[in-house]
Amino acid sequence: MYPGIGGSEGKLRELRHDPLRRRWVIVSTERSRRPSDYLGGRDREPPLAGECFFCAGHEEETPAELWALRPDGSSPDGPGWQVRVVPNKYPALRRDLRPARRAEGPWDMIEGYGAHEVVVESPDHGADLADAETPAVQRVLFAYRERMRVMYADPAVRYVQVFRNHRVEAGASVRHPHSQLIATPIIPETLEAEYHTTANHYLLKERCLLCDMLAYERAVGRRLVADYGDFVVLAPYASGAPYELLILPALHHSDFTAADDAAMSRLARVLGDTLGRLKRLLSDPPYNYFLHTGPPPGSGPRPGYWEHLPHAFHWHLELVPRLGVWGGFEWGTAIPINQTSPEEAAEQLREGGKENG
Ligand SMILES: [Zn+2]
Ligand SMILES: [Zn+2]
Ligand SMILES: [Zn+2]
């Protein structure tokens, strides 16, 4: 059996917009959840290697693969793969719904059009990106790039979110190493804020805000975790969570899907290193990471859509260890209380996070 990975399958699948909060939510009812399912969910253990549908040899237990790296030329949906992408069996959004937009009283609604895919990162159940060799991390990044290119070719898609949940506390329901992609027919609120802010900064100054931030952090140094020359890892000045990190290319690039193989290889090393530092310093903490990218040129509903973003937006990967839970103040105000300063976090990750350190 192949349970959903944080997605769902059911009768209702809608995006609803709340103008009061200026926020989209996905309402996706799955297998008619009852109150007790939410209580039980907290102690549920993910399946072990022997019964895992993502392990090599269990390919027929997942939906048919969409993409895979098979250096031995093996045929789809059998063993022989290094990285494998399959549809999420219980998708939060799906392609068979029309992305029609309509008003519902003061709210807006779109049928739950989109895509939800799982990147199975390795045939090995116990593999971990934090310990993997650079080529293994690079293969995962290739999968992100290839699937994003396919998703962005659909003019109804406005945004593609790549993300990884590590451990149950960060939302992973399956232990086998995997990432996910969800394509949405709207720009999520977080990205809309980043797109607008960077576009305004660019229109005013003809500079990229993230390039400005990066130059400042390099000059100051206190929040730099590692500078690889072409990529930089830093603890953001206003980090909302302990050991929150930002990975970004040192040169200005807006669109992750345009990155070449050499850049992917360099990023793979940086990402593997960074996950290794966190694993050593914080004993394999739960974390989420997510990629924020500008749309590829020519994507979207019309010419000139977000036309400033190639200059204004700078793709980056945000990495957030899940070391605490939000309380009433955080939920009420969206102001996180972070009990580790980013300066302290950067210093510890520079020193204590060193290999053999
Ligand atoms: Zn497995
Ligand atoms: Zn930039
Ligand atoms: Zn961002």
> For the segment 260-286, what is each residue's pLDDT rounded down to a tens digit?
999 999 999 999 999 999 999 999 999
In the three-class reduction of DSSP (H, G, I as helix; E, B as strand; rest coil), residue 315 is classed as coil
Confidence of residue 62 (pLDDT cuts 50, 70, 90): very high
51 has pLDDT over 70: yes
Interval 82-103 mean pLDDT: 88
Residues 186-203 pLDDT 10s: 999 999 999 999 999 999
Residues 107-141 pLDDT 10s: 999 998 999 999 999 999 999 999 999 999 999 99
- pTM: predicted TM-score of the whole model, two decimal places: 0.92
Interval 235-264 mean pLDDT: 98
With contact defined as beta carbons under 8 Å apart, do 251 and 230 qualify?
yes
97 has pLDDT over 80: no
Question: Which ligand is closest to the CA of 194, given by its number?
Answer: 3
Q: Return residues with CB closer than 5 A to ligand 1 (ion).
A: 52, 54-55, 125, 176
- How many angstroms separate the alpha carbon of residue 169 from the centre of ligand 1? 19
In the three-class reduction of DSSP (H, G, I as helix; E, B as strand; rest coil), residue 215 is classed as helix
Q: What is the mean pLDDT of the chain?
A: 91
Q: What pLDDT is attached to residue 69?
A: 98
- How many angstroms separate the alpha carbon of residue 175 from the centre of ligand 1? 7
2 has pLDDT over 70: no
Question: Which ligand is closest to the CA of 250, given by its number?
Answer: 2
Q: Which domains does the chain have, with CATH numbers?
A: 13-189 (3.30.428.10), 206-351 (3.30.428.10)
Q: Return residues with CB closer than 5 A to ligand 2 (ion).
A: 208, 210-211, 252, 314
- How many angstroms separate the alpha carbon of residue 310 from the centre of ligand 2? 9
Interval 302-311 mean pLDDT: 90
* Cβ burial 223-259 (10 Å sphere, 16+ → b, else e): bbbbeeeebbbbbbeebebbbbbbbbbeebbbbbbbb
DSSP annotation of 132: S
Question: Which ligand is closest to the CA of 202, given by its number?
Answer: 2
Q: Alpha-carbon distance 307 to 352, whole Å?
A: 43
- How many angstroms separate the alpha carbon of residue 291 from the centre of ligand 3? 7
17 is catalytic: no
Please tell me which residue in 116, 176, 178, 314 is annotated as part of the active site.
178
Interval 95-105 mean pLDDT: 86
- How many angstroms separate the alpha carbon of residue 162 from the centre of ligand 2? 20
Report which of 41, 49, 283, 2 is spatially closest to residue 177, judged by C-alpha positions: 49
- How many angstroms separate the alpha carbon of residue 84 from the centre of ligand 1? 12
- How many angstroms separate the alpha carbon of residue 312 from the centre of ligand 2? 7
Question: Which ligand is closest to the CA of 208, given by its number?
Answer: 2
Interval 224-240 mean pLDDT: 98
Residues of the chain with pLDDT > 70: what percent? 89
Report which of 112, 175, 170, 117 is spatially closest to residue 144, judged by C-alpha positions: 117
342 has pLDDT over 50: yes
Selected residue with higher pLDDT from 47 and 267: 267
Q: Which of 70-74, 93-97, 213-217 is predicted with the least confidence, judged by mean pLDDT?
A: 93-97
- How many angstroms separate the alpha carbon of residue 208 from the centre of ligand 2? 4
Q: What pLDDT is attached to residue 6?
A: 46
- How many angstroms separate the alpha carbon of residue 196 from the centre of ligand 1? 41
Question: Which ligand is closest to the CA of 120, given by its number?
Answer: 1
